[in-house]
C-alpha cells in the first residue's frame, strides 16, 4: 500500500495545476482538455530556472524526488525536467500534441498535452509496486 494514499497521479496532479492557473501550467483549451506547459531550453539567453522550471520543481517536490535530489546535493533543474518528462511520457492518458507545441520559441517555448478522459494512467499498476 502506498505510504500516502491521497497522493495524486501525475495526470490528476497536472490537471490540478492547470486549474490553479498560476503559470506553471494552464489550460490552452479547456473544452478539448489541452494543457500548455512552459518548455524552455536551458541554453536560451533569458532562461530563468525559477520561472521556466517551476512545474518541474513542483512535481519533484510533490513526488518526493526533490528531497532525494537535495540529499545527493544536486539542485539541478535539468534533473527535475528529465524526471517530469519521463513520468509524463509513461502515461497512456496524457499525450503531447506536437503540432501545437512550440519548443523552439526561445523563452516562449511550450508543449501542449491532451488529457484523454476515461483512461487510466499506465504509470501506476494495481499492486502499487511504483509507490
Domains of the chain are 10-115 (1.10.10.10)
Confidence of residue 106 (pLDDT cuts 50, 70, 90): low
The rounded distance, in Å, linking the Cα atoms of 95 and 87 is: 12
Instruction: Give residue-wise pLDDT tens across range 67-78.
Output: 655 555 556 788
Grid coordinates standing for 47? 532562461
Per-residue model confidence as pLDDT tens digits over 23-55: 677 788 888 899 988 888 776 777 777 777 888
Amino acid at each position: 500500500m502506498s505510504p500516502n494514499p491521497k497522493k495524486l497521479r501525475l495526470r490528476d496532479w497536472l490537471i490540478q495545476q492547470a486549474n490553479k492557473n498560476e503559470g506553471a501550467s494552464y489550460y490552452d483549451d479547456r473544452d478539448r482538455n489541452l494543457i500548455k506547459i512552459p518548455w524552455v531550453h536551458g541554453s536560451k539567453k533569458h532562461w530563468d530556472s525559477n520561472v521556466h522550471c517551476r512545474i518541474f520543481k513542483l512535481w519533484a517536490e510533490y513526488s518526493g524526488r526533490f528531497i532525494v535530489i537535495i540529499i545527493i546535493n544536486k539542485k539541478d533543474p535539468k534533473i527535475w525536467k528529465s524526471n517530469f518528462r519521463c513520468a509524463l511520457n509513461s502515461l497512456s492518458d496524457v499525450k503531447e500534441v506536437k503540432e501545437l507545441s512550440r519548443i523552439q520559441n526561445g523563452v516562449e517555448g511550450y508543449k501542449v498535452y491532451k488529457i484523454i478522459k476515461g483512461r487510466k494512467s499506465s504509470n501506476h499498476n494495481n499492486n502499487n509496486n511504483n509507490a
